[in-house]
Amino acid sequence: MPIDATQPYEPNNIFAKILRGEIPNKTVYEDEFALAFHDINPQAPHHILVIPKGAYVSWDDFSARAPDAEIAGFIRAVGHVAREAGLVAPGYRLLANVGQHGGQEVPHLHVHLFAGQPLGPMLAR
């Protein structure tokens, strides 16, 4: 069920539990601002999620409330992960689902990195 992106942060969501080390993940990269790990149900040969360490429901919440250093740190981490995975030359897709119409299921901001094959049209046709 997609979430309501205007809801308050829910501290027991699955990505909060991953950040606290309460459930395992396949970590790709971690720094002060971000954690990147493999999606449990990959939709492409490479499917990596990058999440900020701070408690933000969505891209909307993050862009409105996060301090500049957290925004810069997170965005740089996303770029770093894509470069380190060798995704820049072949190309990749970066996606953040927000709320009901975006189909966001987990109420902690995450961006998807998809790569490894031509990814087709941006939206289903």
Among 29, 39, 80, 119, binds ligand AMP (CB under 6 A): 39
Task: Confirm or reject binding of residue 58 to ligand AMP (CB under 6 A).
Answer: no
DSSP for 84-108, please give it.
HTT-TTT-EEEE---HHHHT--SSS
Task: Confirm or reject binding of residue 14 to ligand AMP (CB under 6 A).
Answer: yes
Among 48, 106, 109, 115, binds ligand AMP (CB under 6 A): 106
Task: Confirm or reject binding of residue 41 to ligand AMP (CB under 6 A).
Answer: yes
Residue range at the interface with ligand AMP (CB under 6 A); choices 51-59, 64-72, 84-92, 104-112:
104-112
How far apart, in Å, are the Cα atoms of 25 and each of 5, 37, 57, 71, 88? 24, 6, 20, 23, 24
Q: Are 50 and 82 in contact (CB under 8 A)?
A: no
Task: Provide, rounded to whole angstroms, the least separation between the CB of residue 18 and ligand AMP.
Answer: 6
Is the CB of 12 or the CB of 41 nearer to ligand AMP? Answer: 41
From the number of C-beta atoms within 10 Å of its C-beta (0-12, 13-18, 19+), residue 71 rates as: middle
Amino acid at 123: L
Task: Confirm or reject binding of residue 105 to ligand AMP (CB under 6 A).
Answer: yes
Contacting positions for ligand AMP (CB under 6 A): 14, 25, 39-41, 49, 97, 103-106
